[in-house]
Amino acid sequence: MTTAEQTQSPPQPLINWRGLWQNIVQAALSVVLSLVVGGILLLLSGRNPLEAYESLYYGAFGTTDRFTETLVKATPLLLIAVSVSISFRCQYWNIGAEGQMILGSIFSVWVALNITGLPTLPHLALCFVAGALGGALWSLIAGVLKAYLQANEVITTSMLNYIAVYLLAYLVRGPMIDPGGFNFPQSRLIPDALELPRLVERTRLNASFIVALVAAALVLVFWRSTWGRRTEIVGASRRVAAHVGLNIPRTVLLVAGVSGALTGIAGWGEIFGLHFRLIEEIARGYGTLGIVVALLGGLNPVGMVISAFLFASLVVGGNAMERNANVPFALVDVIQGCVILLVLSRAYLFKRASSS
Amino acid sequence: MNWDLVTYSFVVGVLASAVRWATPILFAALGEVFTERSGILNLGLEGIMLMGALSGFVGAYNTGSLWAGVLVAAATGMVMGLLMAFVSVTAKANQVVAGLGITILGGGLSTLLFRLFFGLRSKPPTIKTFGTEPIPLLSEIPVLGRMFFSHNVMVYLAFVLVGVGWFVLYRTRYGLALRAVGERPEAVDTRGLNVTRLRYSALMIGGAMAGIGGAYLPLANLGLFWTQMTAGRGFIAVAVVVFSRWDPVRALVGALVFGGAAALQTALQTLEAPIPSELLLMMPYIVTIIVLVGVSRRAEFPSAFAVPYSRGEG
């Protein structure tokens, strides 16, 4: 197989046991190298990187509380990564997770606040469905434009992110503002009964964590279904897919819809498990994090569970680091960028390193 | 809505502001025309613009010279372009994902470096921006004079670069080689030209231009830097390039369309239009999608677009 073909074919087979060990080693090396790059930046600015990273580590794992907080952060990351893995495997470059998460949050909160008289469980289920629907519909805007009008989805989904951010800003200041909230930009609280149960007492870890794990498991089922196989063929080569008579636009719509729904569910989980109301920061930063988690995890569910956990610890630890060691959280963003670029070039870099 | 404000002078002012809004996007789009002509899609423009904004600001702040800021921004953009070239040309990685990586890195790095340079302050550091310098005679033409010839020097620089870009692309051997390498890299290779070097150079030109485009915001417009201040302009520039059909002159037209949408949005806010400001702020992004949809079906990408080149595997 030539190098050109390697880079053009979809990243890896779903679970490639032979390459798995190598992938893990290379992924780990990518993360370590990224941490080193971040450390060098800190060193150059006259700070002590070891102190910073110690503070980061303690912030993420220091106590049981910190550890459950890491799992709390891992929840939306895993859901979004699963969403990203589906679209990226189809070579449909949906980078609109932030917008889709926002729309999922808006839809689910609207249902929670405006539909009354339902028993708790059906009501909660309806909120869940609304969240998935909101994300899916927002994602399908770009999907339809791609499938039938060839509009580049990277641009449309990124534009839709900005539009969603302003839409949310409008809603929490206007039509959905909390009347008793002293004009603070947020919605009313959802009814207490709809709050997701906690998994560990006195922590924020809640049932949405289970939902994320189930989604990661279900995606395995998806890839083994007819639809999953079609998606994979369309991703591998549009030409082959057309040749064997697959409906490419319809596959793109499916992928856009499913990935949007998963991201919408991430929004639902954040609201019903953590914030209990719409706030402006509901999705901030999650879009890029989800992409990094998906790529570092090799777009396969097991890898993504591990990398979601890793990046959740970086986020939780990074916040603690900013508070305690006065090192900007943006260090974590730099590490994200480095990880993507290293993961992408690893075939080239590490092949060189091992052959010389 | 306050219609009384709509005077001749106001309308011309809106048109002039459209040109200023268009300028940073135009810089980035011009560079991306070169990059895409060579067969590489650089979706990292957003991150490169942010690095340009940061480095241009820091350069100007420390030297006291705005032009030094422009140069630093161009150099920084070039380094970012070089990084993109390594990942996409040498390591032959997927260009979409590589571009996202550059965007994420640029966003993070610009924020981090700003904090490391300036720390947390109650008042943000500021610089004095390029002032308006009307061009004698030309600026006195009705409407067009204020629209195109009463701006800061960076706007004029962008206009000049449209011409330079057109000339280099269509009238030089380098431009010919660049266009060929995006269509038939193997033919260029057999002629003894270096495909890798050509694509590296195109990405470095694109990076430098995106860096200058990013630097426009702090150096010519705001006098400040803030996190993610480019607000999607890098992605809009990529859309402008599709609109331009990879032509520098049409890129100017495309950038003006988006500049117009942005200027109209601010004008409507000034006129106290009965539309919430959050919804008005969406306008440039909605226009981007609409225009992109309008041109995408007819767009003919370079034949070897986004395909890494490896010798002897055609």
* CATH number (domain holding residue B171): 1.10.3470
Q: Do B47 and A337 touch (CB under 8 A)?
A: yes
Contact call for B239 and A167, based on CB within 8 A: no
Look at residues A295, A290, A288, A213 and name the one whose alpha carbon lies nearest to residue A31: A295
Name chain A contacts of B111, Cβ cutoff 8 Å.
328, 330, 333
Residue A8 confidence (pLDDT) above 90: no
CA–CA dist A252, A50 (Å, integer): 46
pLDDT digits (tens, 9 = 90+) for B174-185: 999 999 999 999
Q: In chain B, pLDDT over 90 holds for what percent of residues?
A: 83
Distances (CA, A) of B170 to A101, B163, B167, B283: 45, 11, 5, 35
Helix ranges (H only) for B245-282 are 248-270, 277-281
Answer whether A334 touches B (CB < 8 Å).
Answer: yes
In a domain, A64, yes or no: no
Confidence of residue B253 (pLDDT cuts 50, 70, 90): very high
CB pair distance less than 8 Å for A336 and B297: no
Could you tell me the residue range of the domain that residue B202 belongs to?
11-136+143-296
**What average pLDDT score do residues A217-243 get?**
92
Domain total for chain A? 1
Distance CA A332, CA B301 (A): 36
Mean pLDDT of A260-289: 96
Interface of A with B in 57-116 (CB under 8 A): 88, 93, 95
Q: Report the amino acid identity of residue A67.
A: F
Confirm whether B1 is domain-assigned.
no
Closest chain B residue by Cα to residue A334: B108
Secondary structure class of A226 (helix, strand, coil): helix
The 8-class DSSP code of residue A177 comes to B
Phi and psi, residue A12, nearest 5°: -150, 160
Residues of chain A found within 8 Å of residue B306, distances taken between Cβ atoms:
none
Answer yes or no: is B62 within a domain. yes
Q: Distance between CA atoms of B145 and B148, rounded to whole angstroms?
A: 6
Residue A330 domain-assigned?
A: no
For residue A5, what pLDDT is reported? 38
**A279 phi and psi, to 5 degrees?**
-130, 160
> What does the alpha-carbon distance between residue A237 and residue B235 come to, in Å, rounded to a whole number?
26
Distance CA A252, CA B267 (A): 39
Report yes or no on A92 lying in a domain: yes
CB of A154 within 8 Å of a chain B CB? The answer is: yes
A353 touches chain B (CB under 8 A): no
Which of B79, B278, B279 best tests the A interface by mutation, with the highest count of A CBs <10 A? Answer: B278
Is A26 part of a structural domain of the chain? no
In a domain, A28, yes or no: no
- A348 interfaces chain B, CB cutoff of 8 Å: yes
Nearest CB among A295, A330, A338 relative to B97 is that of: A295
Residue B310 lies in a domain: no
Q: Which residues from A are below 8 Å from B107, CB to CB?
A: 288, 333, 337
The beta-carbon neighbor of A41 closest among B86, B112, B281 is B112
CA distances from A28 to A21, A71, A297, B96, B261 (A): 11, 20, 10, 23, 46
What is the rounded average pLDDT of the residues A31-39? 93
pLDDT at residue A2 above 80? Answer: no
Task: Say whether A279 sits in a helix, a strand or coil.
Answer: strand
- B25 pLDDT higher than 50: yes
User: Sorting pLDDT into bands at 50, 70 and 90, what band is A307?
Assistant: very high
Q: Tally C-beta pairs within 8 A across A and B.
A: 165
Structure confidence at residue B307 (pLDDT): 83
Window A:160-199, CB contacts with B under 8 Å:
160, 162-163, 166-167, 169-170, 173-174
Structurally, chain B folds into a number of domains equal to 1
Mutate to test the interface with A, among B80, B100, B242, B286 (most CBs of A within 10 A): B100
Residue A344, domain member (yes or no): no
Q: Where are the alpha helices (DSSP H) in chain A?
A: 3-8, 17-44, 49-61, 64-89, 97-114, 120-149, 153-173, 208-224, 226-236, 238-243, 248-270, 286-296, 301-325, 330-355
Find the domain containing A267 and state its range.
75-302
For B312, residues 6+ apart whose C-beta sits below 8 A from its C-beta are none
The reply to whether residue B282 touches residue A174, judged by beta carbons under 8 angstroms, is: no
Q: What is the DSSP letter of B5?
A: G
**In chain A, pLDDT over 90 holds for what percent of residues?**
79
Segment A182-223, tens digit of pLDDT: 999 999 999 999 999 999 988 999 999 999 999 999 999 999
Q: What pLDDT is stored for residue B246 in this prediction? A: 94
Please state the ipTM of this predicted complex. Answer: 0.92
A8 within some domain: no
Mean pLDDT of A241-247: 91
In a domain, residue A5? The reply is no
CA distance B96 to chain A (A): 8
pLDDT at A3: 38
Residue A11 has pLDDT above 60, yes or no: no
* pLDDT for A356: 46
